[in-house]
Homo-oligomer: A and B are copies of this chain.
């Protein structure tokens, strides 16, 4: 064991997994702001288009701090992905070992489809202190922008990443209101299924909720006339049209 490894887990520095909310900097929580201000190092995941968004949200609080870019392989090879997480966790533990608190930022909520939780598990298993700070999800922000409830009364809510391996038809047969996320171009296929089920008017779509360039679509027809099938597009499908 090297000296460095022996020290691992024995310092008092702490890791924070910080949900930045969906995009509007005012949707940061007070807890997130305080954690960022406390951290000497801000870890920024750089695995997709979203990283710059998360960083831009917290930038006003990150002046003069050390920025640690953590690259996460989006490879289909699971070994590569696991390896990238171990490398990122190792670099974060190096910062913790030198006594620096680290704030790992993640767009939306840190427990919802976030890279952070992989790192959290590795770092906690090594004996370090780590705290998860939840945030506002993009789909709650989308519902708020539309002025519609995600779920009410005894309705269920199903959150579906549209890259899910089950086929679209099966997904849509489950009961409850649905949030379709991370669909990209696949969303158009899902919308066809929704139309075939008579759910055209039960479906509303938001792209870039609370970010610059937010767009609201009140129906599938409205979306199809000028679709934004980017990564930040969320569809909300209600069981009962209200």
Cβ of A144 to closest chain B Cβ, rounded Å: 4
Residues of B within 8 A of A25 (CB): 30
Given known A26-B31, A140-B134, contact A117–B176 (CB-CB < 8 A): no
Q: Is A196 an interface residue (CB 8 A)?
A: no
Choose from B33, B34, B150, B176 the contact partner of A111 (Cβ within 8 Å).
B150
Report chain B residues within 8 Å CB of A158.
Answer: 156-159, 174, 176
Chain B nearest CB from A28 CB (Å) reads: 6
How far is the CB of A153 from the nearest CB of chain B, in Å? 8
- Whether B159 and A157, one on each chain, are in contact in the complex, defined by CB atoms closer than 8 angstroms, is yes
Copy number in this complex? 2
Q: How many of chain A's residues have a CB under 8 angstroms from any CB in B?
A: 61
Whether A120 and B147, one on each chain, are in contact in the complex, defined by CB atoms closer than 8 angstroms, is yes
The answer to whether B132 touches A147 (Cβ under 8 A) is yes
CB of A149 within 8 Å of the partner chain? yes
Tell whether A53 is near chain B: CB-to-CB under 8 Å.
Answer: no
A:69-98 near B, CB below 8 Å:
none
> A101 an interface residue at 8 Å Cβ cutoff?
no
Q: How far is the CA of A29 from the CA of B33 in the complex (A)?
A: 10
Check B30–A152 contact: CB distance below 8 A: no
Question: Does residue A211 face the partner (Cβ distance < 8 Å to B)?
Answer: no
Instruction: Report yes or no: B152 in contact with A113, Cβ–Cβ below 8 A.
Output: yes
A168 contacts the other chain (CB 8 A): no
Let me know if A99 is at the binding interface, CB within 8 A: no
Considering the chains assembled together, what is the distance between the CA atoms of A153 and B130 in angstroms? 22
Chain B nearest CB: distance from A183 CB in Å?
12
Interface flag for A148 (CB, 8 Å): yes
Please tell me if A62 contacts chain B, counting CB pairs below 8 Å: no
Contacts of A174 in B (CB 8 A): 158, 174-175
CB < 8 Å neighbour of A134 from B28, B30, B124, B143: B143
A83 nearest CB across to chain B (Å)? 16
Task: Name 19 interchain pairs, CB-CB below 8 A, sorted by A.
Answer: A28-B30, A30-B30, A30-B33, A109-B140, A109-B150, A113-B151, A121-B147, A132-B143, A132-B144, A134-B136, A134-B143, A134-B144, A135-B140, A136-B136, A137-B137, A155-B161, A156-B161, A158-B158, A159-B159
